[in-house]
Amino acid sequence: MSLLHIVTFSPFLLAIFVPFFYKYIRKVHTGWFVLPLPVLLFAYFTQFISTVSHGNTYEQSFKWIPSLGIDVRLYVDGLSLLFSLLITGIGSLVILYSIYYLSKTKEALNSFYVYLLLFMGAMLGVVLSDNVIVLYTFWELTSLSSFLLIGYWYQREKSRYGAQKSMLITVFGGLAMLGGFILLYIMSGTFSIREMVQNVGTIASHELFIPALILVLLGAFTKSAQFPFHIWLPDAMEAPTPVSAYLHSATMVKAGIYLLARLSPIFADTSVWFVTVSAVGITTLFWGSFSAVKQTDLKGILAFSTISQLGLIMSLIGVGSAALHYEFLGDNIYVVAITAAVFHLINHATFKGSLFMVVGIVDHETGTRDIRKLGGLMSFMPITFTIAIIGCFAMAGLPPFNGFLSKEMFFTGMVHVTKMDIYNMETWGVLFPVLAWIASVFTFVYSMVIVFKTFTGKYQPEKLAKKPHEAPIGMLVPPIILASLVILFGLFPNLLAHSIIEPAMASIMPALLDTGEKFYVHISFWHGWTPELFMTMGVIALGVLLFITVAKWSKLYSLFPQKLALNHFYDRGLSAIDKGSYSFMRLWMTGFLRDYLVYIFAFLIAIVLGTLFVKDAFSMKFDNLAPVGVYEAILIIAMIIAAFMTVLSKSRLTAIIALGMVGYSVALFFILFRAPDLALTQLVIETISTALFLLCFYHLPEMQRLPKKFKFRMNNFLISLGVGVTVTLVALSSHSTKLFDSITQYFVENSYTEAGGKNIVNVILVDFRGFDTLFEITVLGIAAFGIYAMIKLRLTRKESEE
Amino acid sequence: MEILMSIAAGILFMAATYLMLSRSLLRIIIGTGLLSHGAHLLLLTMGGLKRGAVPLLGEKAPVYTDALPQALILTAIVISFGVTSFLLVLAYRAYQELGTDDMDKLRGNENHE
C-alpha cells in the first residue's frame, strides 16, 4: 500500500464519512468538507510533472488476487498524469461550483457528494490502473456512479429514463470491453497493459487480434458517446449541472478516449483501427455538430457539442495512427494529429467545463435553459457573458483562444490524410478534410447561438420565472478560472507542450521513439499563410452567414423524419425486446402440463436418438440370448393387450382393471424369470394399488365431461411412439454391448459364508446393500406421513369456514 | 427372449407416454403405473434372462439367475408404490378441493401466475 494507492482510494474513504458530515454538521454546506480532497490530490499530482516530463514513469503495485495475476498496479506516465490532473483539477472546481449551485436545505447533499466522490475515485482508478481487470472494475464503477448521478432527482421520470439509457449503453460497452480484455489475456498471458505492449508482436499476429480490437473499440465508443452510441449523452443532461460539467464533458466521456490512447501501442498498427476510429470519429464530429444547431435547450446544445468534440479527438487519434507507418520522427507529418488530440483534449475540458457552468448559472438565475425564452441577459450578467464568449469562441475555434490552435492542428491533420498512400486513402481520404470543415462550420454556428441567443437580443422578462441577476461570486470563480486557462493556453500554448503534451504523446506512440529520443512539440506555427488558416477563414465567413440566416434554413431539420432518429430505434428496440420476450414466454409457457411433457419427451427423443445416430452406437447381437418359451410369449401378448386396453378403454374402470392385468402379468413374468420375492411383492402391491385406484375411482368425477369416445391424437401418438422406439433401441443396443461380466458371482459365493443367509436377494437387500433398504423404508414412511397430512390438514377449508 | 422383452417394455413405455399426455388426472396416474412396470421389466431384462436356478442357495444349483437386478427391482417397486399411492391421494384431495380432475382446468389463471 503506497501513497499512490492511498491517493487513488482516498475519494472512496472520504465518501464513507460524507453522510456523517451531512448529518451532524448541518450548518456548513457538506461540499466544503469534500473540497479539500481534490485540491490536495491535484497538488499531489502536479509533483509528478517534473518526473514525467523527463521521460520517467512512476509505478506502485499492490497484490489483490495474486493467484489470478490480478494486482492493483498503478502507473503514472504522461497520459495518466494528464488525465489525473484533469480529474482532480476540474473536480475541485466542480465541487466549489456545486457548493453554490445546490441548496443546503432542499437537496440530499449526502448522496450527491458520495456519488461524486465515488465517481472521482473510480475515474482516477481507470486512468492509473495498469492491470486491465482492475481498469475494468473502475470502469464499471464510473458507469454505476454516473447512473446514480444522472438519476439524482429520481422523482423525475426523465432523470430515470436518462439514467437507465446511459446505464444500458455504457454497461453494454463495458461488457464488450471486458471480453476484449480477456481475449488480450489469452493472447499475451498477462493482464498488465505494459507487458502486453512488450508482447505486441505475438498479439498482432494472433487470430483473436481483430475480435479483441473490435470489442475494445465497442467499449470505448459507448463510453465516449460515439456514433451511433451517442444517444445516451443528451438524455444524461437531466443530471444536475455540476455533474454534466464534470462527468459528461470533462472526464467520464473521455474515458473511452483514454482507453484508445492507452491501447494504441497494441492496436494502432492495423488498417481496421485506422479506418474504424477515424471514420467513427469524423462521423460523430459531423453528426454531433449538425444536430447541435437544432437544439433549443442550452444543455442539449452542449451535449451534442460534446459529442462532436469527442468525435474530433477520436478521429485525430485514428488519423494519428498513420504515423506508425513512417519510421523517422523528424519529418513525420502525422504526429501532428496526436499532438492535436492531446492538446484539444485539454482545451475541450477547460472550455466545455466553463460553458456548462455558465449554462448552470443562467438556469439558476433565470429558471430556464430554453433559448427561445432567453435573450438580452448581457446587461444583467456581464461576468457570465464574458465567460460564455471566451468559452464559445474557443469552441468555435477563434483566435486568440486555445480552441483556435487545436482546431488549426486538427485541420492540418485532416489535410494530411489526403497525402496518405496507405489503406486506399488516395481515393476517399479527401472526405476527411471536407467533413471536418463542414462540421467546423456548424460548430461555429451553434457556438454563436449559445452566446448571442442567450445574452443579446430582446429581453423577455415575462417568460422568465425569476428576475435575472448576476450569480454569487463563489459560483463564478470556477468558470473564471477555467476561462482564464482558455486564454492562457491560447496565448502561451507552449506552457503545456513540454510538461504535459510531450509525455502524453510518448505514452500513446512509444513505438516512434528510440531510446533517449523525445517528442518535440512547439505550437507556434500559427503565423503563416497555411491552407488551414484559409479553411478557418472560410469557416468564419460561412458560419456568420449561416448564423444570420439560421431562422430561414433551420426548417430543414424538420424535413428529417423522426422515424429515422436513433433514439426512435433505441426506444422501439427496447420495447420490442420487452414485448418479444413477453410474447415468446406466453407462447412457450402455456401453463398446460401436457405441453411441458411434450417438450420434455421430444427433447429426450431428439437427444437420445440423435446421439445413437451421430455416434453410430446402435448395435444388435443375436448371440447370448435366452430362448423364447411358450409361456413367456403368451404372457407378452396378454400384457401388450392389457396395455393397449388401458389406453383405448372408454371407462375408467376398464382402464384400472387393465392396469391391474399388466401388474399381475408382470408378477407372472417374475415367476417365469425365477424371481420369487419379486413376484410376491408385485402381487401384494398390485392388489393394494388397484384398491387405491378404485378408491379414487369412487371419488373422482365421471369421465363424461371428457370426450367419451377414445379420441386419437396424432401428436401424442407420435411422441409416445418415439419414446417407445427410443427405449427399445437403447435397451437393445445396451444389451448387445456388455463390456464386462456381472458381479453377482460374489453374492452367490459369499451370501452364506459372510452373511449367513441362503436367500441371495434378501441378503443383498438387508446386508450387502442395506442402506438402499433403509432409505426405501424412509420413502414409504414419508409417503405415509404425507398422505396422512394431506387428508387431515385442511387449513384453507377451516379458514373459509371461519 | 431379451429382444422380445425389450420390445414389450418399449410398448409399455409408449402406452404410458400416451396416457401421461392426456387430460384426465387418473389416466396420468395410470400412465405412471405403466411406466414403472416397463422400467422394472427393463431392469430384469437387462440383467440377462439366462435360465438358472432361483437365487436361493438351498437349491444347490450350478448356476443361479442374477440376484442383484432382483434386489434393485424390489427396491424400485416399493418406492414406486409409495409415490403412486401419494399421487393417488393427492388426486383425490385435489378433486375434493377443486372439483375437477381435468388437467386443462388445473392451470391457474392470469392473476395466479
Model confidence over A191-240: pLDDT tens digits?
Answer: 988 888 888 888 888 888 899 999 999 999 999 989 888 889 988 888 89
Residues listed for chain A: 802
B56: chain A residues, CB-CB within 8 Å: 676, 758-760
Q: What pLDDT sits at residue A190?
A: 87
3-state secondary structure of A38: helix
- The answer to whether the beta carbons of residues B6 and A732 sit under 8 Å apart is yes
Cα(B102)–Cα(B105) distance, integer angstroms:
5
Residue A759: phi, psi to the nearest 5? Answer: -85, 105
Average pLDDT, 10 consecutive residues per value, chain A (802 residues): 86 90 86 91 90 84 87 89 92 91 84 92 92 93 92 90 92 94 90 86 84 92 89 89 86 90 86 87 90 86 91 89 69 78 89 90 84 81 88 86 84 79 67 87 89 82 74 86 88 81 82 68 64 84 85 74 74 90 89 88 93 83 79 91 88 87 93 91 92 78 52 83 92 82 86 89 91 93 92 68 48
Nearest CA in chain A to B68: A744
Nearest CA in chain A to B105: A592
Q: What pLDDT sits at residue A363?
A: 86
Cα(A676)–Cα(B15) distance, integer angstroms:
27
**Sign of dihedral through CA atoms A402, A448, A236, A306?**
negative
- The answer to whether the beta carbons of residues A236 and A150 sit under 8 Å apart is yes
Reading the block at residue B104, the C-alpha cell is 386443462
The 10 Å CB-count burial string (b at 16+, else e) for A210-237 is: eebbbbbbbbbbbbbbbbebbbbbbbbb
Q: What pLDDT sits at residue B24?
A: 82
Cα(A769)–Cα(B72) distance, integer angstroms:
10
- Mean pLDDT for all residues in chain B: 85
Cα(B34)–Cα(A646) distance, integer angstroms:
9
Among B9, B84, B101, select the one facing A689 at the smallest CB separation. Answer: B84
3-state secondary structure of B53: strand
Nearest CA in chain B to A622: B3
Cα(A226)–Cα(A215) distance, integer angstroms:
14
Q: What pLDDT sits at residue A561?
A: 64
Q: Do the Cβ atoms of B20 and A647 come within 8 Å? A: no
Q: What pLDDT sits at residue B113?
A: 43
Q: What pLDDT sits at residue A40?
A: 93
A780: chain B residues, CB-CB within 8 Å: 78-79, 81-82
Alpha carbons within 13 A on the beta-carbon side of A331: 0
B3: chain A residues, CB-CB within 8 Å: 620, 625, 732
Cα(A2)–Cα(A7) distance, integer angstroms:
9
CA distance B54 to chain A (A): 5
Cα(A507)–Cα(A127) distance, integer angstroms:
12
Q: From A246, A364, A360, A244, select the one nearest A304 (Cα to Cα).
A: A244
Report residue B108's pLDDT band, with 50, 70 and 90 as the boundaries: low
Which of B6, B35, B90 is the best residue to mutate to test the A interface, defined by the most A CB atoms within 10 Å of its own CB?
A: B6
Alpha carbons within 13 A on the beta-carbon side of A95: 25
B47: chain A residues, CB-CB within 8 Å: 742
Which of B22, B29, B86 is the best residue to mutate to test the A interface, defined by the most A CB atoms within 10 Å of its own CB?
A: B86
Which of A644, A674, A733 is the best residue to mutate to test the B interface, defined by the most B CB atoms within 10 Å of its own CB?
A: A674
Reading the block at residue A52, the C-alpha cell is 514525467
Cα(A541)–Cα(A551) distance, integer angstroms:
18
Identify residue A703 by its one-letter amino acid code. M
Which of A600, A631, A702, A735 is the best residue to mutate to test the B interface, defined by the most B CB atoms within 10 Å of its own CB?
A: A735
Q: How far is CA A562 from CA A5, A304, A558, A568, A569, in A?
A: 49, 17, 8, 7, 10
Among A643, A673, A790, select the one facing B12 at the smallest CB separation. Answer: A643
Report residue B40's pLDDT band, with 50, 70 and 90 as the boundaries: very high
Q: What pLDDT sits at residue A802?
A: 46
Give the distance, in angstroms, between the CA of residue A420 and the centroid of all CA atoms in the same chain: 36
Among B5, B19, B67, select the one facing A760 at the smallest CB separation. Answer: B67
- Alpha-carbon dihedral A146, A252, A290, A493, rounded to 10 degrees: 150
Distance between the two ends of chain A, CA-based, in angstroms?
68
Report residue B72's pLDDT band, with 50, 70 and 90 as the boundaries: very high
- The answer to whether the beta carbons of residues B65 and A673 sit under 8 Å apart is yes
Q: What pLDDT sits at residue A41?
A: 92
Reading the block at residue A778, the C-alpha cell is 424412509
Alpha carbons within 13 A on the beta-carbon side of B101: 28
Q: From B37, B57, B78, select the one nearest A643 (Cα to Cα).
A: B37
Nearest CA in chain B to A774: B75
Q: What is the DSSP letter of A238?
A: G
Q: What pLDDT sits at residue A624?
A: 72
pTM: 0.82
- The answer to whether the beta carbons of residues B3 and A625 sit under 8 Å apart is yes
Identify residue A195 by its one-letter amino acid code. E
